[in-house]
């Protein structure tokens, strides 16, 4: 039971990072209908930028802030340069643009920062674990959880209460109606990408703090997909719940199922879950069921 | 030149169905055949032949992707999984059961096809993005889990299955060097192209195209969607499995790294650059995607030899050293730029040029 609780809590803490990145993913999909497969590379860029800044001697919080700003700028640039010409093109073409971007970003990251694992040194968060009853949790996890929750709340607040957030919601709901009411769709798309870049950058930084940073952190971008499929593609609460659930499932599977296989199931189990969801409940928990007509 | 005067002067259906309808096209094809089977393998160096093999392998692998994406509209991002199933079943049959290579290859193709059906099953319920997810899951579940952790354990050979020299032979013909691989590749490419082209113009192909264009409309017209979608997955998986089994000949050892996720994406990139929904597209895309990186590498290499350029651009030696990453970034950028500026791909451009010269000098 203790082990179970331990796994559950670690799962929730890691899952909060997934939830953050999944939120960014869902925002892009909701606002502009683009299915972004480059999310992993966005996390890589953010994480490496933050790491570089940190190694230059900038305090971690400040470095994170600068990463957010750089992510904002890069997000808008990406949207304007690569995604805007594709508005109105077939879905597959847009998806493949994001795949192309993924390759492009990944190549650039490896070119600039190499493939070796890098760690944040000196470590950002204290090393001593925290004991809650019999459960041991590394402080990194707690801080990552707190950071993701703060950002999640910030993004959701932005989405619900500010003018731009509301116009994003309007665009997501009905683009034509929003346009006719004077919402500037271009700004909304760019904003969605900017937020996704920011969320991904923070997610990558936090994950890099836990395990060290190398190209495999980009795998996070793929793990987001089971999360959003579980929650339903166009649901913000769905993305958050999906991220948490995938985090938990991954941790539990790693402990309970990995021992029966030669090499562990941690990396592939979320995808197995995803296939099962797709077979039985393809629109996820809160996604819109699409009724198609000819 | 390949155009004929107005009106249809065919007297038999055989003439109407013929692939090459005029003497001119026959001549062109014979010249091409001489080039492919005699001139190139005899007069090109080993380096060029090995590049040609990579091009051929890309064509064979991308053929199934083209079938699924270009003709049936079912996006697949996990084709390397089917290649891997084909390659591994072929190698295992040869090493464990000592089955001759051609039979092992065909069985490998069938295994790839059946595996592909397994992950195509969700296509009965979902489509578009959700199907992309399923095929992507196929990639991870197959290669990273099933093959790496279970299949690789068979026979206790470690992760990589090394193939002893002399194992791969077709009857008395031992495939031992790149030139032999080249001949096998050329035969297979022609065979695949022929099968694919004939499938596309048959009832099956028309059903696939109907599903691609509008699946609901196709269903109302009486096309059995599930059956034809699964058939498309089977044929694509079969092509993939055969391609994987073919590539065994030129690999010293088969290991999961040859079939990673990047290769699946690469194949989709190949058909996007070549042109979706065109068999020419597969060939052009493969040529482009293999030759351009080689050319780029050569260019960077030449530039680094000259001190003037190195002084001008001090990052050049670094680029050569890390060329793999340059290639990846260039590939990504190429896909993006092609989709933005040339969404119909190279085959459309080829068609335009051909038409221009067909009517030259009196084009309107």
pLDDT in tens, B41-59: 888 888 899 999 999 999 9
Task: Kindly state whether residue B294 falls inside one of the protein's structural domains.
Answer: no
Task: Kindly state whether residue B175 falls inside one of the protein's structural domains.
Answer: yes
- Residue B88 scores a pLDDT above 80: yes
Q: Do A99 and B75 touch (CB under 8 A)?
A: no
Task: Give the position of tokens 């390397």.
Answer: B80
Chain A residue with CA closest to B322: the answer is A111
How many domains does chain B contain in total? 1
B chain contacts of residue A294, beta-carbon cutoff 8 Å: 214, 216-217, 220
Helices (H), A114-215: 139-161, 163-173, 175-180, 185-211
Q: Do B269 and A92 touch (CB under 8 A)?
A: no
* Least confident range of A44-53, A136-145, A194-203, A239-248: A136-145
Instruction: Taking residues B121-126, report their average pLDDT.
Output: 78
Asked if A35 contacts A95 with a C-beta cutoff of 8 angstroms, the reply is: yes
Task: Kindly state whether residue A197 falls inside one of the protein's structural domains.
Answer: yes
Instruction: Taking residues A270-294, report their average pLDDT.
Output: 76
Task: Kindly state whether residue B214 falls inside one of the protein's structural domains.
Answer: yes
Domain of residue A101, residue span: 2-280
Task: Kindly state whether residue B46 falls inside one of the protein's structural domains.
Answer: no
Q: Do A267 and B331 touch (CB under 8 A)?
A: no
**Cα four-point dihedral sign B314, B319, B320, B322:** positive
Q: Which of A104, A263, A274 sits opposite B133 (nearest CB)?
A: A274
* Least confident range of A89-98, A105-114, B103-112, B211-220: A89-98
pTM (two decimals)? 0.88
Share of chain B above pLDDT 70, in %: 97
* Cα–Cα distance for residue pair B260/B140, rounded to 1 Å: 9
pLDDT in tens, B305-325: 877 777 777 777 777 777 888
Instruction: Name the token pair of B334.
Output: 């190429």
How many domains does chain A contain in total? 1
A chain contacts of residue B319, beta-carbon cutoff 8 Å: 111
Instruction: Name the token pair of A64.
Output: 């994170």
- Residue B67 scores a pLDDT above 90: yes
Task: Kindly state whether residue B324 falls inside one of the protein's structural domains.
Answer: no
Task: Kindly state whether residue A153 falls inside one of the protein's structural domains.
Answer: yes
Q: What angle do helix axes B225-247 and B79-97 make, rounded to 10 degrees? A: 50
Task: Kindly state whether residue A89 falls inside one of the protein's structural domains.
Answer: yes
Q: Do A95 and B132 touch (CB under 8 A)?
A: yes
Q: Do B136 and A107 touch (CB under 8 A)?
A: no
Query: Three-state DSSP class for B118?
Result: helix
Integer CA distances (angstroms), B88 to A13, B73, B119, B154, B328, in order: 39, 28, 18, 11, 26
Task: Kindly state whether residue B24 falls inside one of the protein's structural domains.
Answer: no
Asked if B33 contacts B20 with a C-beta cutoff of 8 angstroms, the reply is: no
Pick the closest to residue A251 from A137, A148, A143, A175 (CA basis): A137
Domain of residue B233, residue span: 52-277
Instruction: Taking residues B63-72, report their average pLDDT.
Output: 92
CATH of the domain at A134: 1.10.3470
Task: Kindly state whether residue B311 falls inside one of the protein's structural domains.
Answer: no
pLDDT at B1: 47
- For B233, residues 6+ apart whose C-beta sits below 8 A from its C-beta are B68, B74, B113, B116, B117, B119, B120, B123
Per-residue pLDDT band at B363 (split at 50, 70, 90): low
Integer CA distances (angstroms), A278 to A225, A231, A284, in order: 12, 11, 8
- For A124, residues 6+ apart whose C-beta sits below 8 A from its C-beta are A54, A60, A140, A143, A209
Chain B residue with CA closest to A284: the answer is B130
B chain contacts of residue A229, beta-carbon cutoff 8 Å: 130, 133
Task: Kindly state whether residue B72 falls inside one of the protein's structural domains.
Answer: yes
Per-residue pLDDT band at B80 (split at 50, 70, 90): very high
Task: Kindly state whether residue A286 falls inside one of the protein's structural domains.
Answer: no
- Torsion angle in degrees (nearest 10) through CA of A116, A122, A123, A124: -120
Chain A residue with CA closest to B144: the answer is A268
Q: Do A268 and B332 touch (CB under 8 A)?
A: no
Which of A18-27, A111-120, A208-217 is the most confident on average?
A18-27
């Amino acid at each position: 039971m203790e082990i179970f609780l331990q796994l559950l809590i670690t799962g929730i803490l890691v899952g909060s990072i997934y939830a953050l990145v999944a939120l960014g993913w869902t925002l892009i999909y909701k606002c502009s209908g683009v299915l972004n497969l480059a999310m992993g590379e966005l996390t890589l860029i953010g994480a490496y930028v933050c790491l570089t800044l940190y190694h230059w001697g900038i305090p971690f919080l400040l470095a994170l802030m600068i990463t957010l700003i750089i992510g904002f700028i890069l997000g808008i640039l990406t949207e304007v340069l690569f995604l805007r010409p594709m508005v109105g093109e077939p879905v597959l073409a847009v998806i493949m643009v994001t795949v192309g971007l993924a390759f492009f970003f990944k190549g650039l990251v490896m070119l600039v920062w190499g493939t070796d694992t890098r760690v944040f040194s000196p470590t950002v968060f204290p090393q001593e674990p925290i004991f809650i009853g019999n459960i041991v949790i590394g402080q990194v996890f707690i801080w990552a959880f707190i950071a993701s929750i703060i950002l999640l709340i910030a993004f959701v607040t932005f989405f619900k209460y500010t003018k731009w957030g509301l116009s994003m919601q309007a665009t997501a709901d009905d683009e034509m109606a929003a346009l006719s009411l004077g919402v500037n769709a271009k700004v909304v798309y760019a904003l969605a990408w900017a937020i996704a870049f920011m969320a991904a950058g923070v997610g990558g930084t936090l994950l890099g703090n836990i395990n060290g940073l190398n190209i495999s952190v980009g795998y996070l971008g793929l793990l987001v997909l089971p999360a959003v499929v579980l929650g339903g593609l166009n649901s913000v609460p769905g993305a958050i719940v999906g991220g948490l659930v995938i985090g938990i499932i991954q941790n539990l599977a790693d402990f309970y199922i990995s021992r029966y296989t030669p090499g562990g199931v941690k990396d592939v189990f979320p995808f197995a879950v995803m296939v099962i969801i797709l077979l039985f409940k393809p629109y996820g928990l809160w996604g819109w069921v699409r009724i198609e007509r000819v | 030149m390949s155009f004929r005067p107005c009106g249809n002067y065919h007297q038999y259906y055989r003439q109407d169905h013929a692939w090459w309808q005029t003497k001119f096209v026959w001549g062109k094809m014979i010249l091409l055949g001489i080039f492919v089977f005699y001139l190139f393998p005899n007069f090109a160096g080993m380096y060029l032949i090995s590049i040609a093999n990579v091009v051929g392998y890309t064509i064979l692998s991308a053929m199934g992707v083209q079938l699924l994406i270009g003709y049936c509209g079912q996006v697949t991002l996990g084709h390397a999984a089917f290649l891997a199933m084909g390659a591994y079943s072929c190698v295992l049959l040869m090493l464990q059961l000592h089955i001759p290579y051609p039979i092992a290859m065909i069985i490998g193709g069938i295994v790839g096809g059946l595996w592909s059906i397994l992950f195509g099953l969700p296509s009965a319920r979902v489509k578009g993005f959700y199907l992309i997810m399923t095929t992507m899951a196929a990639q991870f579940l197959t290669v990273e889990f099933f093959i790496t952790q279970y299949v690789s354990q068979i026979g206790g050979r470690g992760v990589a299955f090394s193939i002893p020299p002399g194992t791969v032979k077709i009857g008395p013909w031992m495939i031992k060097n790149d030139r032999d691989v080249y001949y096998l590749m050329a035969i297979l490419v022609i065979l695949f192209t022929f099968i694919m082209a004939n499938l596309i113009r048959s009832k099956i192909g028309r059903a696939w195209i109907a599903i691609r264009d509008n699946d609901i409309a196709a269903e109302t017209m009486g096309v059995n969607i599930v059956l034809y979608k699964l058939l498309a997955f089977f044929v694509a998986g079969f092509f993939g499995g055969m391609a994987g089994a073919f590539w065994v000949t030129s690999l010293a050892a088969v290991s999961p790294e040859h079939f990673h996720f990047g290769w699946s994406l690469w194949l989709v990139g190949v058909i996007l650059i070549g042109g979706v929904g065109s068999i020419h597209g597969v060939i052009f895309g493969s040529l482009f995607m293999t030759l351009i990186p080689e050319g780029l590498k050569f260019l960077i290499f030449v530039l680094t030899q000259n001190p003037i350029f190195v002084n001008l651009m001090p990052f050049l030696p670094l680029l050569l050293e890390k060329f793999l990453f340059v290639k990846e970034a260039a590939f990504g950028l190429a896909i993006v730029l092609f989709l933005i500026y040339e969404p119909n791909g190279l085959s459309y451009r080829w068609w335009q040029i051909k038409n221009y010269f067909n009517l030259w000098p009196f084009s309107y």
